[in-house]
Chain A
Amino acid sequence: NAGVTQTPKFQVLKTGQSMTLQCAQDMNHNSMYWYRQDPGMGLRLIYYSASEGTTDKGEVPNGYNVSRLNKREFSLRLESAAPSQTSVYFCASSAGYEQYFGPGTRLTVT
């Protein structure tokens, strides 16, 4: 039982490049989330998916797109990366009030 897994763990992009962050959970949870964490800002919700086939914007969705591929997988795409998107990205899943987080992806955009 791996919980929530994220790939890659680290990534360096140049401004304008695109990439997809992958997330998968094996807990059969309906809800999945993408957050970014920046120093002094706490965790901010980018997008979430309450169930397979649905997605909704969070607090900071601009510059990102998501896909809920199936119940297990929820991906986050940066179409044209900007230095302001340098951050640590966390995926989470939940079946109730408790959210389970993955280990994070450290992204640097130069």
Chain B
Amino acid sequence: QKEVEQDPGPLSVPEGAIVSLNCTYSNSAFQYFMWYRQYSRKGPELLMYTYSSGNKEDGRFTAQVDKSSKYISLFIRDSQPSDSATYLCAMSASSNTGKLIFGQGTTLQVKP
């Protein structure tokens, strides 16, 4: 079993929809949780960062962490075609993020 599980999709939604992306993990030592966005044929870019449990909001994006369930989510409100990309969750047990563990990535397509 992988340490971090993420449904690879693909996920296709109409423009304006609310998108929910999720990851589950098995290592209870993880405390630092990130979401990266990767456009086709590009390197990943950090989208959201959360420490421990709770919610964090940034514009149309909300990241949630539920450590009791070992479950993290990324919500995208009012989705746009420009949100079409692969979204990777990543997590670490240490603030020195040398050993980030990534999920498989979920490919999202937002149709106009």
Task: Please give the residue numbers on chain A whose beta carbons come within 8 Å of chain B beta carbons, in ascending order.
Answer: 4, 31, 33, 40-45, 48, 50, 56, 58, 90, 92, 94, 96-99, 101-104
Complex Cα spacing A101 to B104, Å: 17
Within 8 A of A (CB), among B56-112: 88, 90, 92, 95-100, 102-105
Q: Count contacts on B: residues with CB < 8 A to the other chain.
A: 25
> A-side binding surface: helix, strand, loop or mixed?
strand
Task: Please give the residue numbers on chain B whose beta carbons come within 8 Å of chain A beta carbons, in ascending order.
Answer: 4, 6, 8, 32, 34, 41-46, 49, 88, 90, 92, 95-100, 102-105
Q: Nearest chain-A residue to B3 (Cβ)?
A: A59
Question: Could you give 11 example pairs across A and B, Cβ below 8 Å?
Answer: A40-B8, A41-B104, A58-B99, A90-B43, A97-B34, A98-B46, A99-B100, A101-B45, A103-B42, A104-B42, A104-B43
What total of A-B pairs shows CB separation below 8 Å?
54
